[in-house]
A and B are shown apart, each in its own frame.
Chain A
């Protein structure tokens, strides 16, 4: 039986390392004192990607078909949109 298509531990290990790395990048950007709207939105994008990885692979939504494939993704997109709007408007 081939479980690779639905679940792979090796892949999850990689994803764990990637999310850790992305977190350190976010932290370093902040420590370096970089700022500006582009940087801020970039950080948000990194966070959304991390969230997507958690949903798709850790929570196991990637292979799901139909309605339940989407809640976490839609949640992230909607939230990303709202936060982006608020931060863009705050600049102007």
Chain B
């Protein structure tokens, strides 16, 4: 295979380069948000520590495990399509979507708990950041699921093959980014004090 040397040390990451430019932009937003959280906390340490204790860390743990597992399932989906196994790829994608659903359900339960307690963006700085950050991430989970669902639909039609499966890798890259961001968000907002 002529492209073997290229495959060993490719110049570009898997998936469409355009999604990577988008991922960089997304990472930049989250980085600014995380840093803003950390530096605002500096001036309100007591407040942040106090209200961080009110969060449901069991729910956050379940969600972290769900996203990591979802990411792993997507890795399996990509591995399957690289062997040309469309149907297996589809099954792993559906499993990943299931993990996404689990995340959304758990997170929604957390939100409904907060809202019924009358907490909103203006309650205090901690909740402002907590709600903004997690909700922004929540929207990204939905966005990632929409992308994965689109990829799954095409996979079901047999739209991908050993030679042409950039679409699967593109969707996978975005989904991993959603996971990556949460892996920082979880300790920063729920645990570190």
Contacts and interface: CB of A to CB of B under 8 A. Distances in A.
Q: Judge A-B direct contact (beta carbons within 8 Å).
A: yes
Interface of A: 1, 3, 5-7, 9, 12-13, 16, 19-20, 23-24, 26-27, 29-31, 35, 40, 43-44, 46-48, 50-51, 54-55, 58-61, 63-66, 68, 71-72, 75-76, 78-79, 82-83, 86-87, 89-90
A90 B11 contact: no
A24 to B, nearest CB: 8
Given A43-B191, A86-B35, A90-B42, A13 B72 contact: yes
Interface residues of B, number: 51
A19 B68 contact: yes
Contacts of A48: 184
Interface in B148-193: 169, 172-173, 176-177, 179-180, 183-184, 186-188, 190-193
Contact of A23 (B65, B82, B169, B172): B65
Contact of A63 (B9, B39, B186): B9
Q: Name the prevailing secondary structure of the B interface residues.
A: helix
23 contacts: A5-B8, A7-B79, A13-B72, A16-B75, A23-B65, A24-B61, A40-B192, A40-B193, A48-B184, A58-B71, A58-B75, A59-B14, A59-B176, A63-B9, A63-B10, A64-B9, A65-B9, A66-B11, A71-B20, A82-B38, A86-B39, A86-B42, A89-B42
A79 B34 contact: yes
A64 B6 CA distance: 10
Contacts of B173: 59-60
A30 B79 contact: no
Interface of B: 1, 4, 7-14, 20, 23-24, 27, 31, 34-35, 38-39, 41-42, 45, 57, 61, 64-65, 68-69, 71-72, 74-76, 79, 82, 169, 172-173, 176-177, 179-180, 183-184, 186-188, 190-193
B158 to A, nearest CB: 22
Contacts of B10: 6, 63-65
Given A26-B187, A90-B41, A68 B192 contact: no
Contacts of B177: 59
Contacts of B57: 27, 30-31
Closest 10 CB pairs of A and B: A86-B38, A16-B72, A90-B42, A60-B14, A82-B35, A47-B187, A65-B9, A83-B38, A59-B176, A54-B180
